[in-house]
Amino acid sequence: MADHNGQPLTAREMVRAHAYPLLAALSTLSLIAIALLQIPGAVRDHRYNRCIDLQIQLRHAPHMIGQETPGKLLYLKAVEHCEGR
């Protein structure tokens, strides 16, 4: 194999010329694999967060005047329900 000047490459230069594309391809595949492995956890956490939000919305009483957030006990009951206890 020859470089741009028409000179043949040594074995060391061949390794250096092919190492970068090989390592770039390997790192790209690794990043894709890591991203694919993150999907099931993200779906599970999204569903859990939706469950918590729905439970808090269902348990939130309209007569709680002056309180903007649902409160600790209400949140703990929602967590208990969504975790299956």
Q: Please state the rounded mean pLDDT for residues 24-32.
A: 97
CA distance 81 to 59: 11
Decide: pTM greater than 0.85.
no
For 30-74, what is each residue's pLDDT tens digit?
Answer: 999 999 999 999 999 999 999 999 988 887 766 666 666 667 888
* Of 26 and 71, more confident: 26
Angle at 26 between CA 22 and CA 28, to 5 degrees: 115
DSSP state of 66: T
Distances (CA, A) of 16 to 12, 26, 29, 39, 48: 6, 16, 20, 36, 49
Nearest to 56 by CA among 43, 46, 69: 69
